[in-house]
Amino acid sequence: MKRSLFLIFLICLTVSAFGQKSRVLSVMQMIDSKKYSEAKEAIELAVWNDRTANWHRTYYAKGMLCQTAYEDGKESKDIKLTNLYEDQLYVAYDSYEKAVELDSREKIHSTIAKKYYSLSNDFRQLGLEHYTKKEYPEALRAFEHALLMINSKLLNVPADTNLVYNTAMAAYESGNWEKAIGYLTGLHADAFSPATSLFLVHAHLYNGDTLQAETVMMEGVKNYAYSDTVVMYVVNWYTGTHRTDRAIEVLQEAIKRHPDEFRFHWALGLVYSALDNYLEAIESLKKADDLCTEKPPELYYQLGVCYYNIAIDLREAALQISENDEYMEVRDQYLAQFREAVKWLEKSYELDPGNEKTINRLYQLYYRLQMKEKQETFEQLMQ
Amino acid sequence: MKRFSFLLFVFLIASNLSAQISDDQDQAPADTLSILPEFTTLAARKYIDQVVNNPSAWRTMDDPVKNALERLLDHSIEPFDTVRSRLLMQDFRAIDIHTGNPVETGRMALKWLNDSTFLIDPKGWSPNLYLREESKFVYPVDLSSLVLSDSLLDENGMLDPTLFTPDTVIVTVIDTSALNSLGIALHYYKDKLISPPLALGKGGSTPSLAADRRTVIYYRPGTVWEADEDSPFLMMDGRYQLDSLQYAVNKLLEFTEERDSTMLWLSDMSGRKRPFWISSGSEEEYRFWVKNYNNDSVTVWLGNPGSQELRLTLEDDVNFNRLVKEDFEHLPSFVQDPESSLRSMKMLEPIPKYWDFGFLSAFILNQTYLSNWTKGGESSLSAMMDIQLDATYNNKDANTQWINAVRMKFGTIMTQEKGFRKNHDALEINSKFNRNAWGKIGMSASLYMKHQLAKGYNYPNDSIPISKFLNPGTMTLGLGFEYKPAKEITFNVAPLSYKTTFVLDTANINQTLHGIDKNARAKREMGTQIVVSSKVTPFESMEITNNLRLFSNYLKKPQNIDVDWELIVDQKINWFFNIRLNLHLIYDDDVRFPVLDENNQPVLLPDGTEKKVADMQFKEFIGLSLQFKF
């Protein structure tokens, strides 16, 4: 009997010695059995217990609990599981990191590394969900954690530039210019995409750094070999800041490289037009018309307006003329320009009959040129 | 005014008439009343001129009608507005003052004494008073200074006698003293210079030698008023003559304007006319609608502040919309800000985890302690260790699963009377390979081995072991199918199964106790094996594990199915302790047990051997379980 009592004592001693740690290990079974609440209760006790508080498996178990419950909750659409902890995925990440820190002999590094693969994916998915809901700061946080894991020493995976881009977008949309500039600058340096450079420009502008924005713009023009997206943006920027000479320089260089890109000719025409240089504007716009197969009504409208503006200039000049004969000569000239404007505007109208701007302008010109029949037709149209 | 109206009337009639006459017709037609005369402008002018200048045609020559006709003639030559315009444009006062040509004030005759000497005798004295004639001898040569030379000699070498013969010459001598006393100036003229110069005339007039050099003409400087070269005028009588003319012209023009009035007809694009009198000084304004081709109109007020002045005033509250230039502020629609849409991310492919390991240990304790228990009984302590190691290979990509398990059960019981005995001993090795083929059904191959670890005795005989490690042992190989309707439930059917029961040490272990023929070490069976495994959780803290293994031998009594069924019920108490109920039932037709009579003695067959029959083996154990799971 003494032997049996001794055996019982021995068992109790064993239990007391390994009980706490085994409790942590039993969490794994609970997780397998989807007993997440019990597992949480157990692991929280373990976290605060002196015997297990500094044991790496405790935090591994906690991380695993958070991650597994989250993934299970996502799959079963059970928010109780995804909200087992507040910021559950972040708790998982922090727990894993703590486990790595405590695991000085790197016993479970490879195990955690395997978890990081799926956790990184979870963070990506979480980022996407936040972004879709326009919760940009939260999306940024999630994407940044996904990046953290990719950059972790435990993983050996290639950099995912799309993830960096998405992180940059989340930073951009949340107005965190410092971070947005940081991520976008890297992507811009790698010539990731024209849009990236343009976002970087915007970020610099929002950040109040106009000079840097302009530098990035010009780098973008060169990096993307005068891509139409960037060139158009730069031209728009220069025209918007009344530096049309620079806009023309960029466009002329772009046309040299891409002579068949109708957008460049179109834009050049508009820049010339902004400078009241209508003859060159017309030349460029007609060139764009030749190259463009789509026949955009807007282009014809602008051609018409160029002729219209020439006519207005001539009329203003005519008003200064006191000599009747000379006046009549100039008057004939500007009426001819009005008629030319009508020709192009009618072409635009044919392609886009609902454009009010075109209808109004044509009506004015019909009135001015005393084209009574068409004028009346358009009058009804406008009513 | 009436006169002017009449004049205008006549003018209009004349104009009307003249308009009807061809310009080609220069000749006036016959002056007959029956035929309306047809005039050209020129012919009309000539005709009126004839009438006006015919004295016999008029009663008095200053008849107003005659005057009017004269003025009409003037108008026909040049309209009055042209006259007025010319007069207004003319600057009458354009005049210049010149120092003109000298004015001659007198002449004085000259008296030339010789070719180079003359005198002026203002009083006309007799020349005898200052001129006289004298005779004088003159030799051809000056003998006093004569030097003889051959040239003076003649052919004969004699001096020419003519050289010594004097000529008598009458010389006019001027008596300069007389001239001085008579106040007569003597002058020498040489190379157009007069010496001494001529004295000034009366009033300081300047003397000048006449072109014929016969007289001296005296001049004084002249002042004239002469118009500019562009002016139609030449010389004026006085300095202010043209000013006066200008004033007079302006006065008359003003008078004319004050007295004048004209009616205009204003017409618009539709042809509607409105009369408008241009008269001087009227402050009245007239409203006029200026129309465009579209019949849109703007009201204009027309005033006549002066006879030659029109004032146009636009109606108030008229807004003008002039066509203005259109600016392009933006590039075409293809210039747009980039869209901040996310990019698709390639999710990380987790490192496949093919192997999963598990460890389950349960230490089950059952203890009874009796002391002075009158009803009898015995203190006991039984314990069982149940350890299971799992190693599962799961390759979802390959749809394969390999489940391996090693289970060791070992239990003892200790009583005061019988001491320490083994009551559980089993070592099981289970290996199953599945390949999923059709949904939840897969093909499987399985290996199942069952042995024991320690020697077993048929108590109370504890000297002869009836089993020991690997003696006996069973091994079952099966090929078949597995149906897995749920995660924890499997049905494995192996129609091609081979089962062998062996005893390696037949010297020490009686193999017949384990269904093996007396002269054999092993029993081999071909048949079907069915294994049903499940794990259910009817309550949160209860878990029931069930394993049923059936085997039917195709070759021998297939209807006698070997049964091996184990049921484990775990009821959780707390983290570490469970109550475990373990039920184990075995039926093997080849394992036979002796039949005992009422005295507990074996029943003998007629041949003297013990009668044995197959029977069910059943084991039940319940106790406190200490479990560890990893």
Cross-chain Cβ contact A235/B383 below 8 Å: no
- Which residue in chain A is spatially nearest to B353 when comparing CA positions? A114
Mutation target among A5, A29, A157, A301 for the B interface, most CBs of B within 10 A: A29
Question: Which residues in chain A are closer than 8 Å to B269, comparing Cβ atoms?
Answer: none
d(C-alpha A249, C-alpha A226), whole Å: 12
Partner residues linked to B62 by β-bridges: none
- Residue B21: pLDDT band with limits 50, 70, 90: very low
Check CB contact under 8 Å for A309 and B348: no
Mean pLDDT of B129-138: 81
Spans in chain A with pLDDT lower than 50: 1, 4
Q: Centre a 10 Å sphere on the Cβ of residue B169 and count the other Cβ atoms it contains.
A: 10
Q: Do A128 and B349 touch (CB under 8 A)?
A: no
Please give the Cα distance from A115 to B571 (Å, whole number): 32
Enumerate the residues of chain A whose CB falls inside 8 A of the CB of residue B323.
Answer: 308, 312, 315, 364, 368
Query: How distant is the Cα of B413 from the closest Cα of chain A, in angstroms?
Result: 10
What DSSP character marks residue B344?
P
d(CA B341, CA A165): 10
Tell me which residue in A198, A270, A372 faces B331 most closely, judged by beta carbons.
A270
The reported pLDDT for the residue numbered B99 is: 60
Question: With contacts defined as CB-CB under 8 Å, which chain A residues touch B335?
Answer: 232-233, 235-236, 267
Asked whether residue B16 carries a pLDDT value surpassing 50, the answer given is no
d(CA A25, CA A62): 11
- Positive or negative, the CA dihedral A60, A61, A66, A71 is positive
**A28 touching B (Cβ < 8 Å):** yes
**Nearest CA-CA distance, residue B342 and chain A, Å:** 5
Residue B28: predicted pLDDT: 43
CB B576 to CB A22 under 8 A?
yes
Per-residue confidence band for B30, with pLDDT thresholds at 50, 70 and 90: very low
Please judge whether A195 and B343 are an interchain contact, meaning their C-beta atoms are less than 8 angstroms apart: no
In this structure, are residues A304 and A343 in contact, taking their beta carbons and an 8 Å threshold? yes
Bridge partners for B476 per DSSP: B448, B499
Residue B237, pLDDT score: 65
DSSP-assigned states of every residue in A210-248: HHHHHHHHHHHHHHTTS-HHHHHHHHHHHHHTT-HHHHH
Which B positions 262-301 lie with beta carbon below 8 A of chain A? Answer: 293-294
User: For all residues of chain B together, what is the average pLDDT?
Assistant: 81
**Is the predicted pLDDT of residue B412 greater than 80, yes or no?**
yes
B371 and A CB contact within 8 Å? no
A13 CB near a chain B CB, below 8 Å? no
CA dihedral defined by A290, A295, A298, A300, rounded to 10 degrees?
50
Give pLDDT, residue B138.
Answer: 76
Q: Which residues have CB under 8 Å from B608's CB, separation 6+?
A: none
Preferred mutation among B292, B296, B322, B334 to probe A, highest tally of A CBs within 10 A: B334
Min Cα–Cα distance to chain B from A233, Å: 6
Cβ-based neighbour number of residue A267 at 10 Å: 30
Q: Are A368 and B323 in contact (CB under 8 A)?
A: yes
Answer whether residue B31 shows pLDDT above 70.
no
> Hey, which residues 575-594 in chain B have their CB within 8 Å of chain A?
575-576
Interface probe with A: pick from B322, B337, B348, most Cβ of A within 10 Å? B348
Rounded average pLDDT over B415-420 = 80
pLDDT over threshold 60, residue B265? yes
Burial-class residue B479 by CB neighbours within 10 Å (0-12, 13-18, 19+). middle
Question: Rounded distance, CA B92 to CA B249, Å?
Answer: 9
> Which among A210, A268, A202 has a CA at the least distance from the CA of A239?
A268
DSSP B375-396: T----EEEEEEEEEEEEEEEET
Closest residue of chain A to B379, computed from CA coordinates: A1
Alpha-helical (H) ranges within B239-314 are 241-259
- Across the range B458-473, mean pLDDT stands at 85
Residue at B55: amino acid letter: P
Task: Report CB contact under 8 Å: A309, B325.
Answer: yes
* Partner residues linked to B128 by β-bridges: none
Tell me which residues of chain B, numbers 455 to 474, contact chain A at a CB-CB cutoff of 8 Å. Answer: none
Which residues, including other chains, have CB under 8 Å from residue A178's CB and lie 6 or more apart? Answer: A207
Q: Do the beta carbons of residue A221 and residue A234 sit within 8 Å?
A: yes
Listed in sequence order, the residues at least 6 apart from A174 whose beta carbon sits closer than 8 Å to its beta carbon are: A136, A137, A139, A140
CA distance B38 to chain A (A): 38
Asked if A25 reaches chain B (Cβ–Cβ under 8 Å), the answer is yes
Q: How far, in Å, CA of A47 to CA of A218, rounded?
A: 55
Write the single-letter amino acid at B379: S
**Range with lowest mean pLDDT among B280-284, B296-300, B517-521, B608-612:** B280-284
Residues B52-89 as b or e (16 or more Cβ within 10 Å = b): beeeeeeeeeeeeebebbebbbebbeeeeeeebeeeee
Chain B CB contacts of A262 under 8 Å are: none
Q: Looking at chain A, which residue has its C-alpha nearest residue B370? A: A1
Does residue B4 register a pLDDT over 60?
no
State whether B379 and A308 contact (CB < 8 Å).
no
Q: Calculate the alpha carbon distances from A180 to A192, A229, A302 in Å.
A: 15, 21, 38
Helix (H, G, I), strand (E, B) or coil at B1: coil
Instruction: Choose the mutation target among A20, A112, A121, A368 for the interface with B, i.e. most B CBs under 10 Å.
Output: A121
Question: Any bridge partners for residue B415, and if so which?
Answer: B380, B419
Closest residue to B323, CB basis, from A4, A229, A368: A368
Question: Left (φ > 0), alpha (ψ -120 to 50) or beta: where does A38 sit?
Answer: alpha
Cα–chain center distance at B622: 87
Instruction: Express as a percent the part of chain B with pLDDT over 70.
Output: 84
Q: Would you put residue A359 in left (φ > 0), alpha (ψ -120 to 50) or beta?
A: alpha
Average pLDDT over residues B511-533: 88
* Tokens found for residue A288: 């764009």
CA nearest A269: which of A245, A257, A287? Answer: A287
Chain A positions in Cβ-Cβ contact with residue B327 (cut-off 8 Å):
274
Considering only the beta carbons, identify the residue of A29, A162, A236 that sits closest to B629: A29
pLDDT at B224 > cutoff 70: no
Q: Is B626's CB within 8 Å of A11's CB?
A: yes
Q: Identify any residues that bridge with B474 across adjacent strands, giving them in sequence order.
A: B450, B501
> What does the pLDDT look like over B567-605, one tens digit per residue?
999 898 876 788 889 898 998 887 778 888 888 788 888
A positions 66-105 inside 8 Å of B (CB): none
pLDDT number for residue A20: 64
Of A121, A198, A305, nearest to B338 by CB-CB distance is A198
Q: Which pLDDT value is given to residue B231?
A: 74
DSSP string for residues in B178-244: HHHHHT-EEEEEETTEEESPPPP-GGGPEEEE-TTSSEEEEEEEEEEEEE-TTSS--B-SSTTHHHH
Selection from A217-221, B210-214, B265-269 with the highest mean pLDDT: A217-221
The beta-carbon neighbor of B347 closest among A124, A195, A375 is: A124
Tell how far CA B89 is from the center of its chain: 59
Q: pLDDT tens digit string along B295-324?
A: 888 889 988 887 678 889 998 888 878 889
DSSP symbol at B584 = E
What count of residues does chain B have? 630
C-beta atoms of A312 and B323 within 8 A: yes
Three-state DSSP state, A303: helix
Contacts with A118 from chain B: Cβ below 8 Å: 348, 350
Chain A, residues 142-201, CB within 8 A of chain B, namely 150, 157, 160, 162-163, 165-166, 169, 172-173, 194-195, 198-199
Res. B103: pLDDT tops 80: no
B3 has a pLDDT exceeding 60: no
Do the chains contact at A11 and B365, CB–CB below 8 Å?
yes
With CB atoms and an 8 Å threshold, state whether A195 touches B339: yes
Long-range contacts formed by B483-490: CB under 8 A, 24+ apart: B483/B440, B483/B441, B484/B440, B484/B441, B484/B442, B485/B440, B488/B534, B488/B535, B488/B536, B489/B533, B489/B534, B489/B535, B490/B531, B490/B532, B490/B533, B490/B534
* Residues with Cβ within 8 Å of residue A253, at least 6 apart in sequence: A226
Containing H/E element for B526?
A: strand B522-539
Tokens (6 digits) for B93: 């006062």
Question: Mind listing the pLDDT tens digit for each residue in A25-62?
Answer: 778 878 888 889 989 998 998 888 888 888 999 999 99
Judging contacts by C-beta atoms under 8 Å, the chain A residues touching residue B324 are 312
Residues in chain A: 383
- Cα(B363)–Cα(A10) distance, integer angstroms: 12
- b/e per residue, A315-351, with b = 16+ CB within 10 A? beebeeeeeeeeeeebeebbbebbebbbebbbbbbeb
The domains of chain A, with CATH numbers, are 28-155 (no CATH), 158-224 (1.25.40.10), 307-383 (no CATH)
Question: A11 in contact with B at a CB cutoff of 8 Å?
Answer: yes
List the single residue in A28, A114, A150 with the smallest CB-CB distance to B351.
A114
Helices A262-274, A228-240: crossing angle, 10 deg rounding: 0
DSSP string for B414-475:
EETTTEEEEEEEEEEEEEEEEEEEETTEEEEEEEEEEE-SS-EEETTEEEEEEEBTTBSEEE
ipTM comes to 0.76
Q: What are phi and psi of B606, to 5 degrees?
A: -55, -30
> Taking 60 as the threshold, does the pLDDT of residue B19 lie above it?
no
Task: Report d(CA A223, CA A209) in Å as an integer.
Answer: 21
Choose among B254, B236, B223: nearest CA to B94: B236
Cα angle vertex A329, ends A326, A330, to 5°? Answer: 90
Asked if residue B444 lies in contact with residue B432, where contact means CB atoms within 8 angstroms, the answer is yes
Domain boundaries, chain B: 2-93+242-257, 101-145+152-224, 264-314, 414-629
Q: Cβ distance B488 to B535 under 8 Å?
A: yes
Question: Which among B207, B235, B271 is positioned nearest to B95, based on CA atoms?
Answer: B235
R_g of chain A, CA atoms, integer Å: 35
Residue B560: name the closest of B507, B491, B616, B601 by CA. B616
A residues 269-298 lying closer than 8 A (beta carbon) to B: 270, 273-274, 296, 298
